[in-house]
Amino acid sequence: MSGNVILDVDFARSFFPALNTSWSFLENAGGTLVPTTVVDRVSAYMTQTQVQPGTDFDASRIAAERMDEGRDFMAAVINANPDEIVIGPSTTNNVYVLANALRPWFADGDEVIVTDVDHEANNGAWRRYADTGLVVREWQMDPETGELRITDLQALLTDRTRLVCFTACSNITGSINDISAIARLVHDAGALVCVDGVAFTPHRPVDVKELDVDFYLYSIYKVFGPHSALLYAKPEHLARMANQNHYFVDGNPFLMLSPGGPNHELTAGAVGVSDYFDALYEHHFGDEPADTRQKLTRLFGLFADHETRLGGPLAQYLSAKQGLRLFGPPSADAEKRVAVFSFVADGRDSAEVAGRLQKRGAGLRSGDFYAARCIDGLGVRPQNGVIRASFVHYNTLADVERLIECLDEEV
Ligand SMILES: Cc1ncc(COP(=O)(O)O)c(C=O)c1O
């Protein structure tokens, strides 16, 4: 994905003081660590400009500028314009607000499709539509593979379908869905798509324009930033959405879907991710001229290549080892999966196995990771869910080797 340049992982790690430990951090799908540049930005905001932003004394003016910069960067990550996004406390919260805002668009008997693979964030709010007169249909996984098959979606689409909500990539199986192909199919059927990009955005370049999605969500705290989240909506959708905030902010897309407004210091703090990416870019590509999109594409190309190198031996091990069952694609193929590996050990409780691995320095966990329907669909509820190890670009081959060694001894 990134030509001849290879990620200098030691350089990347030098920005993350939390990595200076004897254990391996393998719970990145739950939330990534933040670089010092983020801490610096949050600290600068709070020590210098923790005032109500947007009026004409210095601290207030600078506070607003800092928040704008953060918002601009979060939008740039997915190639959205700043006036096409909303910042909220979490993706879960953003979906609830979106579902409320969209409900008046639909008539009783209209149909919405959700999946049994998705995290509950892109499920629960839509499923509650069933209590208000809408029909909610479930696009179910192939029970053998845990994958969503496009042919199954085709069979669910009707002339009453209004919205299809699905994940870009499962936070359990790591399996990537073909967002463009699904969006095309759904649009041809006259409906809209709402894509949960939370598990995907930390790993691959995303361009919401190219993907042609109606709504896209990601959580910046899983992309090396502070704990907040972004909702993108096509501008023509934002323009006709019911205001969810005070009546007098109607028409301001940034505020009308963010009741109470976004957290100030964390919005400003997101610029620290941009600072980190700039430093990474310069380290790997020098002062080669590039616009923000090219820079992000190149950096995420480096990340994807690195993660695929790490995932290769692990995927091979987890699919070959007797007594272990890996979910999702059995290889690290960058087109098919991200570096999120969930598995169970035959006849063993996942919490018990995870506990043993933790004691040996593997920073991972077990459970359903709020993708409860996916865990049920995979049939692993009786085992207390799955054990999940998830990697991002600052992980190393040593992390993979340690996990394999632990599994060899504990399973
Ligand atoms: C795929 C996916 N979607 C949504 C969420 C929820 O995100 P948030 O914590 O921002 O509500 C998560 C969190 O783990 C997730 O993995």
Q: What is the DSSP letter of 169?
A: B
- What is the chain's mean pLDDT, rounded? 97
Integer angstrom CA distances of residue 201 from 15, 79, 107, 352, 359: 20, 12, 33, 31, 30
pLDDT tens figures, 60-99: 999 999 999 999 999 999 999 999 999 999 999 999 999 9
Q: What percent of the chain has pLDDT over 90?
A: 96
| Domains of the chain, first to last | 9-35+292-410 (3.90.1150.10), 40-272 (3.40.640.10)
CA of 136 to the centre of ligand 1 (A): 21
pLDDT over threshold 80, residue 177: yes
In which residue are the tokens 């920005």 written? 15
Compute the Cα dihedral for 293, 298, 299, 305 and give only its sign: positive
- The pLDDT of residue 288: 81
SS3 224: coil
Residues 108-128: what's their mean pLDDT? 98
pLDDT tens figures, 313-324: 999 999 999 999
CA of 335 to the centre of ligand 1 (A): 22
CA of 121 to the centre of ligand 1 (A): 6
Residues 400-406: what's their mean pLDDT? 97
SS3 177: coil
From CA 127, how far away is CA 131, in angstroms rounded? 8
- The pLDDT of residue 282: 96
Helix axes 292-320, 58-77, angle to 10 degrees: 50
- The pLDDT of residue 168: 98
CA of 116 to the centre of ligand 1 (A): 15
For ligand 1, atom 14, which residue shows the shortest CA distance? 30
**Choice from 86, 87, 91 to test ligand 1 binding pocket (greatest atom count within 8 A of CB):** 91
pLDDT over threshold 70, residue 2: no
- Which class for 248: exposed (0-12), middle (13-18), buried (19 or more C-beta within 10 A)? exposed
pLDDT over threshold 80, residue 3: no
**Choice from 28, 370, 388, 390 to test ligand 1 binding pocket (greatest atom count within 8 A of CB):** 370
Pick the closest to residue 406 from 26, 17, 13 (CA basis): 26
- The pLDDT of residue 4: 86
CA of 89 to the centre of ligand 1 (A): 11
Compute the Cα dihedral for 70, 75, 79, 81 and give only its sign: negative
- The pLDDT of residue 154: 98
Two structure tokens written together for 282:
């310069």
- The pLDDT of residue 1: 58
From CA 96, how far away is CA 73, in angstroms rounded? 24
Four-point Cα dihedral 245, 250, 254, 260, nearest 10 = -20
Q: What is the pTM of this model?
A: 0.97
- Report the atom number in ligand 1 closest to the C-alpha of 199: 1
Task: State the DSSP H helix or E strand holding residue 407, giving kind and residue range, or none if neither.
Answer: helix 397-410
Q: Which pLDDT band, with edges at 50, 70 and 90, does 125 fall under?
A: very high
- The pLDDT of residue 33: 98
- The pLDDT of residue 362: 97
CA of 287 to the centre of ligand 1 (A): 35
Q: Judge if the beta carbon of residue 95 lies within 6 A of ligand 1.
A: no
- The pLDDT of residue 289: 84
Residues 373-384: what's their mean pLDDT? 97
Residues 44-72: what's their mean pLDDT? 97
pLDDT over threshold 70, residue 387: yes
Integer angstrom CA distances of residue 309 from 9, 345, 356: 12, 24, 26
Q: What percent of the chain has pLDDT over 70?
A: 99
CA of 409 to the centre of ligand 1 (A): 32
**Choice from 27, 166, 198 to test ligand 1 binding pocket (greatest atom count within 8 A of CB):** 198
